[in-house]
Amino acid sequence: MRPTRSFLLPVLALAVAAPALLAAPPARAQNFFERLFGIKPERPPVPPRGLPEAPPPAPAAPGEPGQPPAAEAPRPAPVPARPIVLKTPSEDSVLGQDLQLNGTSGSLKLERSGSAVTARITLPGTRISQPAESCTVPLAGGNPVPLSAEGKPDGVPRFEAAGAECPLRFDVTEGAVLVSTTGSGPTCTFSAADCATTPVGLWGPAPATLLPRAGEFDTARGVADKAVRDNYKLMTQRARREDVRPIVSEQAAFSADREQFCRSYAREGTHGFCHLRFTENRALALATRLGANTAVPTAAAAPRRSRPKPATEPAVDGMNPDTAGGMPPE
């Protein structure tokens, strides 16, 4: 009896697939026979379901053990209770000193004549007819110009030469003088001398004498900058609401005003002398506006150097260091 076609088909399929099944993994070969002969595999066991996860522990409250302290919100800078007053410069620091505009040109010497103060000043400028050429003009023909004492309206000694050919104002700072004009503009023109002068600026020492003190000036400027900021904060706190905006605008313009005033001083970027003196005078002017007594400073312009401790004699062997000259205990 000839085998039926339905019986021969699986046998032929097995013969064809035998080489591949011999090299296949056991699991794959078993799967092939199940499909070939219609054997229904047993239902694989259902893997056990995972147990419900425990909820994460609640975060500990700030301050509890094991929990880092919560970061505090930044607090605004405290407002000083009273104005910061720096040491007021004295005219004695500039009397008899040879000062120059921006440390390089012209000449200015303040002198005391009895109870009054005079000034010998030569203004530098440029030719009116030839602006590329320089020129100088001595006020009063080189004779002493009498100055009137104007007190301390901005916290520092002030003198004025109102009757000079070029009316000038002198605000004293430590070792220098801030000069401004009291006329219609910053320039004084002398037609007879064919010279136009702009004396506005800091008249101080030559830069060669300032460079060795650059570190001292930098430290003192940090103190002066803080005094300016604190005094402005106090002004905004005391001012009425409608007056706060002008004070804030004035403080915002302070750095630009200082930079413009000091940018022409010789070697300023190296020693910083002009920036320091301009800042100190601004701090004193603000303290005066706040009603402070500038004769009593509340902050030093520079930190005081700590005094060296006296040397102590070394302890002698066999002696009690706590009892000078004492004998050792038996």
Can you give the pLDDT at residue 223? 97
Can you give the pLDDT at residue 183? 81
CA distance 17 to 293: 110
- What 3-state class would DSSP assign to 142? helix
pLDDT at 213 over 60: yes
* 173, 144 contact by CB (below 8 A): no
Reading the block at residue 96, the tokens are 């008899």
What would the pLDDT profile of 8-36 be if each residue is shown by its tens digit? 555 555 555 555 555 555 555 556 555 55
Q: What are residue 105's DSSP bridge partners? A: 101
Can you give the pLDDT at residue 328? 43
Question: Can you tell me the mean pLDDT for 190-205?
Answer: 97
- What residue spans of 2-58 are helical by DSSP H? 5-23, 26-37
Residue 270 Cα distances to 178, 292, 316, angstroms: 20, 33, 52
What would the pLDDT profile of 225-281 be if each residue is shown by its tens digit? 999 999 999 999 999 999 999 999 999 999 999 999 999 999 999 999 999 999 999
Reading the block at residue 251, the tokens are 């403080």
Burial class (CB within 10 angstroms; exposed 0-12, middle 13-18, buried 19+) of 24: middle
CA 190, 193, 198, 203 torsion-angle sign: negative
Residue 269 Cα distances to 257, 273, 289, angstroms: 16, 9, 30
pLDDT at 296 over 80: yes
Can you give the pLDDT at residue 192? 94
Can you give the pLDDT at residue 53? 55
What would the pLDDT profile of 139-185 be if each residue is shown by its tens digit? 999 999 999 999 999 999 999 999 999 999 999 999 999 999 998 89
Residue 319 Cα distances to 100, 323, 326, 328, angstroms: 64, 8, 6, 5
- What 3-state class would DSSP assign to 116? strand
Please state the separation of Cα 158 from the chain's center in Å.
30
Give me the half-sphere count of Cα atoms (radius 13 Å) on the Cβ side of residue 226: 16
What would the pLDDT profile of 63-105 be if each residue is shown by its tens digit? 555 555 656 666 666 767 899 999 999 999 999 999 999 999 9
What would the pLDDT profile of 99-135 be if each residue is shown by its tens digit? 999 999 999 999 998 889 999 999 999 999 999 999 9
Can you give the pLDDT at residue 327? 43
Q: Name residue, tokens 């229904």.
A: 40
